Amino acid sequence: MASAQVVQGPPDVDTQPAMTREGVLWRRRAAVLVRPVMLGVVLLVLYLWVQAQTLDSIETRTLSPARIRLDLWQHVRLSLVATALTITIAVPLGVLLTRSFARWIKPIGLGLGNFGQAIPSIGLIVLLALWLGIGFWSAVIGLVAYATLPILRNTIVGLDGVDPALKEAARGMGMSHLAVLRRVELPLAVPVILAGVRTALVLTVATATLATFIDAGGLGGGLITGIKLNRPTLTLTFGILAAVLALFADWVGGIAEEVLRPRGI
């Protein structure tokens, strides 16, 4: 008697790719959560360590929750305002320097950006304080001058890297120069521009600790107090807080790159 033969149909070709996509998405989401969890652990360990120390009156006053919240808020506000102004200045300037009628001034624009970063950050902030006076806005101007180059350079590189054939094709479809910039060049250059913004944000957060020298507040106050008065607990605490804030800013910048990147690029 002939045995019955079971004929199997073709394998489900969609199941494995779907599972693979789900696995990739899960791994990406898990990777995104690793850094904030690690930073939270660092802050928890720091808190427990400080609680175990015997603090004198200066350390107790400087490490009070109200003082830390104030310093943290001043630092974040300073960094956000400076970064927003840097983007507002550097991106349009980078777009301008890539236009054919303004390419001759590109070396001048990049030279000014290099000049801002060539000057030591503390020297730049102090010079601005002598010229404009101490306070919040002098620190903001110094931070903007220091962080302009990464965004300006990346904007120019991103726009110059767009394939000329794509621009010619868009022009052949009847688009104006402004439409080509808005619908072709900028979307393709966004990933490179966002990388520059991320770099500038981290630079700004890290450099903002120096704003305390011109009475602009921030986490640098506790750090300098610890160094001047030989209080290692203050130095370590505020140094770790500044480092954690900079790493968190870099994480936020990475999230912004993923969210703001045009789909398909």
Mean pLDDT of 179-201: 90
Mean pLDDT of 99-125: 76
Burial class (CB in 10 A: 0-12, 13-18, 19+), 31: exposed
CB-based contact 71:217 (threshold 8 Å)? yes
Query: pLDDT per residue over 228-265, tens digit each?
Result: 999 999 999 999 999 999 999 999 988 888 888 777 55
pTM above 0.85, yes or no: no
Query: pLDDT per residue over 5-26, tens digit each?
Result: 444 545 544 544 544 656 655 6
pLDDT at 23: 60
Query: pLDDT per residue over 63-73, tens digit each?
Result: 999 999 999 99
Domains along the sequence of the chain with CATH: 74-260 (1.10.3720.10)
CB-based contact 99:181 (threshold 8 Å)? no
